Amino acid sequence: MFLTALLLAAQIGRAGDIDRAAAVNCGRVGFIQYAEDFAVAEPLDALFAADSRGGTGGLHALRVGQGGKVERIPVRVSHWPGRRLVAHGLDFLQEGGKSWLFVVNLGATPHSVEVFRARATSAGLDLAWEGAIKSKVITSPNDVRALSLNEVYVSNDWVNGLIEQSGNIVKCKFKPNSADDLCESAFEEGKEPVIKYANGLTSYTQGSKRFLLNAATLGKAVEIYQVSDNGRLVPYRSIRLRFGPDNIQFDGEGRLWIASLPNPREIILREAMPFAFRIPSQISYVPFGSAPGHEVQVFHDDGRIINAATAAVFYKGLLFMTAVSDQRSYACAPKRSRWR
Ligand SMILES: [Ca+2]
Ligand SMILES: [Ca+2]
C-alpha cells in the first residue's frame, strides 16, 4: 500500500566507492512504523514487521500481490497474557507443518522472546500466543533466530550497558507453557568469542552443515558460526565490512541483505536517544556463492529519507526497509539487473 510514490536517488556501487547513481522507485509503506526488523514467512506468503510502539496491535504482515503491489494482511492476536510488548528482533520458523513467529520483547521484565503460533485464516493471519522464552542469560536481547523449537538462538547485544562490553549469543529451547529456564550459552564453556555488539541473526545450510550468522555491529563484521550437532556454535569465518551491520536477512537468491550504520558508534546514540539524532541509513548486500563475496551498497541516505534504517530485505522483487527510530518505511522497486 503506497501512500506516496517517491522517486529516490539511490547510489549503487561498492560501499565507500560509490560510482554511479540510479533511480529506484520507492513508496512509503504507511502501516509499518518504528519497526526494528522483518521476518519472511514463505509458507504464509507473508512478510512480518512489528511496530515497537504499537504493542500487539503493532504486529503487522504484508504480501506482495499482482504487479508488485504491497497489500496489508489483517493480523489478529489471541491468548496474549496482557503484558507490555515492545517488539524488537523477529524471526519465523516452520516446523512439523506449524508456523511460529518469534518476537524479542523489550517491554517485559525480564526481557523475553514471545512465541506465537501463526495460522492463515480466511480473514488474514492469526497469531496465537503460545508462551515466552525467559532466562537469566537473556539479558539484553536484540534478535532471535530459531533453527528449530529446540534451537532458538538469541543475541544479547551489549551485555553491561553503554560502556565497552561485549555481547553474546545464547541457545534456548521453547516449550509451550513452560516457566523453566531452558537457555544456556551457545558456545562451549571457555570458548566464548569476543563479540563486539551481537545484533541481527540469521542462518543458512550448506549440504548437511548448518551455519548461524551474527551481525557484530561494532566489530564491522558478520561472524559466521558452524552449528554443531549438539547446537553449540563454533567460529567458522568472518565477513569483514566497512560499516556496522544491524539486521541481516537472506533473500533466497543468494544474497545477504544488511542494514547498517556507516559510523557504528552511532548505534549507542540511537539506543540512548533514538529520536534526537538524524543518523544515515545504508543498505547493502553480500553475494553468497560457495563463499561470501564483497558487499555492494545499493542505498545510502543521510537520514532525511529514513533515519538509521535497522532492517532491509529483498522479498518478491521489492526491497523493503524499515527503522526502529523512524515512522517511515519503504518498499522500493529496483532495476534488478543492476543488483546482480
Ligand atoms: Ca531477525
Ligand atoms: Ca537489531
Render pLDDT for 307-316 as a digit per residue (tens, 0 to 9): 989 999 999 9
Question: How far does residue 285's CA lie from ligand 2's centre (Å)?
Answer: 16
DSSP 266: H
Q: What is the pLDDT of residue 264?
A: 85
Ligand lying nearest the CA atom of residue 39: 1
The pLDDT, as a whole number, for residue 263 is 84
Q: What is the pLDDT of residues 227-283, one digit of tens each?
A: 999 999 999 999 999 999 999 999 989 999 999 988 888 877 767 766 667 888 899
Asked whether the predicted pLDDT for residue 11 surpasses 90, the reply is no
Q: What is the model's pLDDT at position 20?
A: 35
pLDDT score, position 155: 98
> Does 4 score more than 50 pLDDT?
no
Q: What is the pLDDT of residue 276?
A: 66
- 66 Cα to the center of ligand 2, angstroms: 31
Q: Could you tell me which of 163, 338, 181 has the C-alpha nearest to residue 265?
A: 163
Hey, what's the cell of 230? 549438539
| Cα(274) to centroid(ligand 1), Å | 20
User: What pLDDT digit, counting tens, does each position of 52-61 carry?
Assistant: 999 999 999 9
| Nearest-angstrom CA–CA distance, 161 and 152 | 24
pLDDT value at residue 152: 98
- Determine the distance separating the centroid of ligand 1 and the alpha carbon of 116, expressed in angstroms: 15
Residue 123 Cα to ligand 2 midpoint, Å, equals 31
On average, the pLDDT of the chain sits at 89
Give per-residue pLDDT as tens, 99-125.
999 999 999 999 999 999 999 999 999
- Between the CA of 264 and the centroid of ligand 1 the distance, in Å, is 19
CA of 66 to the centre of ligand 1 (A): 27
**Statement: residue 153 has pLDDT above 80:** yes
Q: Is the dihedral of CA 187, 92, 30, 28 positive or negative?
A: positive
Distance 19 CA to ligand 1 centre (A): 31
pTM for the full predicted model = 0.91
Question: 143 C-alpha vs ligand 2 centroid, how far in Å?
Answer: 6
Residue 23 scores a pLDDT above 70: no
Question: How many whole angstroms from 232 Cα to the centroid of ligand 1?
Answer: 19
**Predicted local distance difference test score (pLDDT) of residue 166:** 87
pLDDT of 21 strictly over 70: no
What percent of the chain has pLDDT above 70? 87
Enumerate the β-bridge partners of residue 14.
17
- What the block records as the C-alpha cell of 195 is 563479540
Neighbours of 68 (CB within 10 A): 12
Q: What is the pLDDT of residue 330?
A: 95
